[in-house]
Every structure is written in structure tokens, then in C-alpha cells.
Amino acid sequence: MDVDIVSDHKNKMKEISRNETVIEIGHLKKYYVLRKGFIDKILVREQKYVKAVDDISLDIRRGETFGLVGESGCGKSTLGRCVLRLESITAGNIRVFGQNIRSLADRQLKKLRKEVQVVFQNPYSTLPPHKIIGNMLKEVINHHEIVKRDMIKEYCLDLLGQVGLSEVFYTKKPKALSGGQRQRAAIARALATEPKFIVLDEPVTALDTSIQAQILNLLMELQNKRDLTYLFIAHDLSVIRHVSDTVGVMYLGKLVELAPTKELFQKCLHPYTKSLASSSPLLSEVYRIDRIELTGEVPSPIDPPAGCRFHTRCPFSFSRCSKEEPKLIGPDKGHLVSCFLYS
């Protein structure tokens, strides 16, 4: 009984804190300028852009895991890099803890760097190959002056312990580590600055399945312990279902569906989400989703199709789809979809 009350209380506290929005992305656009060739210059052709992220708005609340899913090349990693401010923003706004990150002074930028961290996909290139793990952590900790210099080694060893690495790894170079161990070390580096928000850019994609589960559980455990907020980028819906509270589905730089995880999987609305879910044997079994096979290639983000971007591959498309662009609106509360089938 007592335990239940306590956990109820905890959940309530969590609910309250969850309403606080920490990341606000408003009409974010990221275009890459395509270099003009010699002939283009002579013929004065118009400037072309790769529209990696095109007008995306979403909110991430405190303590939640926001799952961002989509095929490769749909712009999900670019979005993550924009939030980290590793990429400049073409248009729109990103607010991180209330701070607009488009224009930051050096000191504010340093604070952002401390509060927002990242874990990358490829464990084999994510660690500096010449540094032992201890030195890599130390450098980060010293840069942000997290702890006093005489405490630093203990702090590092404590970090390694928290991500499930023994003290032996303190003096090891990355090449002596396996993929899963490297990813743990990368997580330790991300945690070293004591961030509040971490962008997880396909952190388990390159690992084999048994290790995937370990890393995912570690990430969830750390989230509870440290009150972290995650932006979890992945292309695997079953991974997303396992970890995230809210899911956004991206296609060609656009958000096509946005819903709480349970909601999304119980009745996914957008044909693209359906096709993604039905392509996973596990999910299609559990949620009885009819197989939707997509034909053709993803169109180029340089010249995206007019109207709904998905209409070239959508089995349900009709004449309106190629003329108008659907808006991201909600038939239900909290479940948004951009498709004319539902408006």
C-alpha cells in the first residue's frame, strides 16, 4: 500500500513537471545551398536548395523522450544537429530552456553546450581514437569546470560506473573497446557535463540486438535518475516504441504525424506511418496493421513533389494531394496528422 502511495506521488510530481516545455521548435527550416556549376552560372539558373528540414514545429516537455522516426535522408539527424547548434538555422526558431539559440553570445553558447549533449550513431568514430577514455572525460570536465581538479579522477570513475564500465576502461584507448562499450563511453562523455537534455542520434542502430537492449535500458535508467530529457532519433519503430513518450514521424523534411506513443501505435493514421509500422514484423503482428508496401524511391529533397510530399508513393492518394499541401492538424486531442484523409 505504502509503496503504491509513494509511487503515485512520484508519478504525480512527474506529471506536473512534464507539462513544462523545455525544447520549443517553431517553423524550423534548414536548407543547404547547392553549389552552382559553371553551366548553371552561365545560364543564370536559379539557386537550388536541399530542403533537409522544412517548416517543422514541435515541443519537447521536461523528462520525456521524444522519438523522431523516419527513413534515412528525411532530415531527422539534421534536426538534431540544429538543436545542438552544430548547424546554422535557415529560418524559424529553436528555444532550449527558454533561450532562443539562433542568436547566442559566447557565454550563453557555452552554457548551452553544457546543458545540451549528444550521443552519435557510429560507435567506431564517436570517440577520439588517440585518447584514453579517462583523458577524453577529463578534457570535457575541465572545459566546463564541473568539479575541482583534485576530484576529477573520482568523478570520471563514478561516471564510468554509472554507464556500466569498470575502472579498467579508464586507461583504455577506444580501439580496445567493443561497440557496446564504446557507446557506453560516449554516453559517459555526454553525461560528463551534467546536461539536462541529450540528443540521441540513432544511438543503438549500429549495435547488435542484445547490446541494443542493454544500451536502451541504461539510457532509460539514467533518464529516471538524472531527470533527463531526450530527443531520440531512430529509424526503427520498435526501438522508438520501447523508449519514447511522444513520437514524431518525419518524411522528406516534414513532420507527417505527431502523437503520444501509445496512441500512435494503437491507431496510426498517416499512410506513411502505417507503412513504416507494417514493415516491422513484430509491430504488424502486435497491432494487426495491414501490410502497406511502398513502391519507388524517396523523392529528392532538392525538388520535393508539390502538394503532399508523400503523394508520389501513397497508395491512397487522390487528386487533391498533388495540388494542396496538407497541414499538421489533429482529429483527436494530442494526435496530429498531416493528411487529407482525415480533414
SS3 call for 62: coil
User: Which one, of 279, 295, 172, lies nearest residue 236 by Cα?
Assistant: 279
- The yes or no reply on residue 275 touching other proteins (CB under 8 A) is no
Give the DSSP H or E segment for 165: none
Helix (H) or strand (E) holding 36: none
**How far is 67 from 120, CA to CA, in rounded Å?**
15
Binding mask 7-46 for other proteins (x = CB under 8 A): ----------------------------------------
Q: Tell me whether residue 11 or residue 171 sits nearer to other proteins (CB atom).
A: 171
**281 sits near other proteins (criterion: CB under 8 A):** no
CA distance 265 to 338: 17
Q: Determine which residue in the list 14, 61, 173, 235 makes contact with other proteins, applying CB under 8 A.
A: 173
340: Cα separation from own chain's centroid: 27
What DSSP designation does 307 have? Answer: S
Q: Is 154 in the site for other proteins (CB under 8 A)?
A: no
Q: Which of 229, 226, 171, 180 is nearest to 200 (CA)?
A: 229
Least distance (Å) from other proteins to the CB of residue 86?
6
| Distance between CA atoms of residues 153 and 151, nearest Å | 6
If you write DSSP's letter for every residue of 270-303 in order, what string do you get? SHHHHHHHHTSHHHHHHHTPPP----SPPPPSSS
Q: At what angle do helices 179-192 and 152-162 cross, to 10 degrees?
A: 130
In the bound state with other proteins, the residue whose beta carbon lies nearer, of 48 and 113, is 113
Nearer to other proteins, 94 or 276 (CB): 94
Which region among 8-16, 80-88, 294-302, 310-318 touches other proteins (by CB under 8 A)? 80-88
Residue of 186, 239, 250, 314 interacting with other proteins (CB under 8 A): 186
The answer to whether residue 78 forms part of the interface with other proteins (CB under 8 A) is no
Helix (H, G, I), strand (E, B) or coil at 242: helix
Residue 177 is a binding residue for other proteins (CB under 8 A)? no
**C-beta of 118 vs 314, nearer to other proteins:** 118
Tell me the closest approach of the beta carbon of residue 131 to other proteins, in angstroms: 8
Residues in 93-152 that interact with other proteins by CB under 8 A:
109-110, 113-114, 116-118, 120-122, 125-132, 134-135, 139-140, 143-144
Binding site for other proteins (CB under 8 A): 81, 84, 86, 109-110, 113-114, 116-118, 120-122, 125-132, 134-135, 139-140, 143-144, 168, 170-171, 173, 186, 189, 193
